[in-house]
Amino acid sequence: MTTIPIMIISRQPLSKTLHHKRLANSTGAIAGFVSALSVLIGVLAARAAPKGLARLSVALHIAKKPLIVKLAPLIAAAAVVFAVAAGLIRFYSWCVEREADETKLPE
């Protein structure tokens, strides 16, 4: 007979354990790196893309596209996803900071 492990759920709020400022900075740095990588891959893919008769043979499915040309749109999409996630997390961090500032102000 197998037993199912029971997960212990912490009663501490998630926002206190994640430190929204650090998370916003980290995701921003990761999004910037992936965006720079996307630009580099895009430039290399543009250089590696078939031209002339090779392009015609790829269009007629006689030859295959280079792998980097196939991967470039996927890496660009990943860069967009990371940028959107970083933007949303930064917006959340801004909202939390603003709420904290409003509670500190005397009326």
Residue 47: predicted pLDDT: 94
Round to whole Å and give the CA distance between 36 and 77. 13
What confidence category does residue 67 fall into, taking pLDDT thresholds of 50, 70 and 90?
A: very high
In a domain, 26, yes or no: no
Mean pLDDT value of segment 8-18? 59
Evaluate whether residue 9 is within a structural domain. Answer: no
Domain of residue 88: give its range: 33-100
> What's the start-to-end Cα distance of the chain, in Å?
63
Whole-number mean pLDDT of the chain? 84
Question: What band does 55 get if pLDDT is binned at 50, 70 and 90?
Answer: confident
pLDDT tens per residue, range 37-54: 999 999 999 999 999 898
Give the number of domains in the chain: 1
Q: Rounded to two decimals, what is the model's pTM?
A: 0.71
Q: Is residue 66 part of a domain?
A: yes
- 88, 94, 96, 99: CA torsion to nearest 10: -140
